[in-house]
Amino acid sequence: MTAQVNKRPAAIRAVLPFVFRHWLKQPARAATVAGGLLGATVADLFMPLFSGRLVDAMTLGASDPAARGAALAAFGAIVVLGLASMILRFIGLQAIVPFTLRIMSDVSRDAFMRVQRFSTDWHANSFAGSTVRKITRGLWALDLLNDTILMALLPSLMVLLGSMILLGLHWSSLGLVVAAGAAIYVPMIVLLSTRYIAPAARVSNAWDTRIGGTLADFHLLQRGGEIVRRRGARRRPAGPRHRPLAKTRAANLAAL
């Protein structure tokens, strides 16, 4: 258990720079995704501020021209913020799809290139299904990591910091309470995630990969046996005993 705990920071230090290096290959899309989602979050943060101004203006009564003007201004700001939030979030979500797909394509191409450069002995002693399963699980994990950082972690951090600043500007004691709660909550979540949740998730993912690879290997073996049965069940022609290599290869591909 001690050896596994010591490996956690090394894994995090290896994965995050790897992901950020692929982000730097698409700086425009990365900035579009992050800017769109963070901008939508900022627009949502200011929505309660103008809602409060609208309520304050309405409590003064419609007969007061200043209150009526303040209410219309607050309502217009709410409409603008709502439209900005929808547009920015739409831009961010539209940009994250090609952004992640290109990263997954680059990683899969590089991974299979490295696997193909292994020795013949390694390929003879390794099952193709398990190898493909490990690579595809890595691609899915990379997709999930991008979504977690860009769509969940960064907006949540912006909400936490923005709420703390806005509350601190209007009510300093409440802002200090929120800041103290965040200072306690964030390290606690990081500690629980790295020390307790991550080890269990790693074991679960390892067994899922092993079972999925075994099933993939069994499927390949089953398909290979099916090819053999199909080839053996065919009636041999009355001509030459052996077929040319090209025809045999075409028959195997047709059986697949």
Give residue for tokens 């103290």.
180
6 versus 170: the higher-pLDDT residue is 170
Q: Which of helix, strand or coil describes residue 241?
A: coil
Q: How far apart are CA 39 and CA 35, in angstroms?
A: 6
Judged against a pLDDT cut of 70, whether residue 100 lies above it is answered with yes
pLDDT at 137: 80
66 versus 237: the higher-pLDDT residue is 66
Q: What is the pTM of this model?
A: 0.69
Judged against a pLDDT cut of 90, whether residue 236 lies above it is answered with no
CA angle 131, 103, 7 (to 5 degrees): 60
Q: What is the DSSP string of 112-164?
A: HHHHHTS-HHHHHHS-HHHHHHHHHHHHHHHHHHHHIIIIIIHHHHHHHHHHH
Q: Work out the angle between the directed axes of helices 128-147 and 65-116 (0-180°, nearest 10).
A: 160
Quick one: what percent of the chain has pLDDT higher than 90?
Answer: 27
Encoding tokens for residue 153?
């972690």
Judged against a pLDDT cut of 80, whether residue 21 lies above it is answered with yes
Encoding tokens for residue 164?
């703390």
Question: Mean pLDDT over residues 190-206, rounded?
Answer: 77
Judged against a pLDDT cut of 70, whether residue 256 lies above it is answered with no
Judged against a pLDDT cut of 50, whether residue 38 lies above it is answered with yes
pLDDT at 190: 81
pLDDT at 207: 78
Q: Which domains does the chain have, with CATH numbers?
A: 9-227 (1.20.1560.10)
pLDDT at 5: 44
pLDDT at 233: 47
- Region for residue 95 given its phi and psi (left: phi exceeds 0; alpha: psi -120 to 50; beta: otherwise): alpha
pLDDT at 36: 94
pLDDT at 218: 63
pLDDT at 245: 44
The tens digit of pLDDT for each residue in 145-186 reads 899 899 998 999 899 888 888 888 888 888 888 888 888 888
Q: How far apart are CA 95 and CA 104, in angstroms?
A: 15
Q: How far apart are CA 177 and CA 149, in angstroms?
A: 26
Give 28's pLDDT tier (boundaries 50, 70, 90): very high
Taken in order 129, 134, 136, 137, the sign of the CA dihedral is positive
pLDDT at 244: 47
Q: How far apart are CA 150 and CA 159, in angstroms?
A: 13
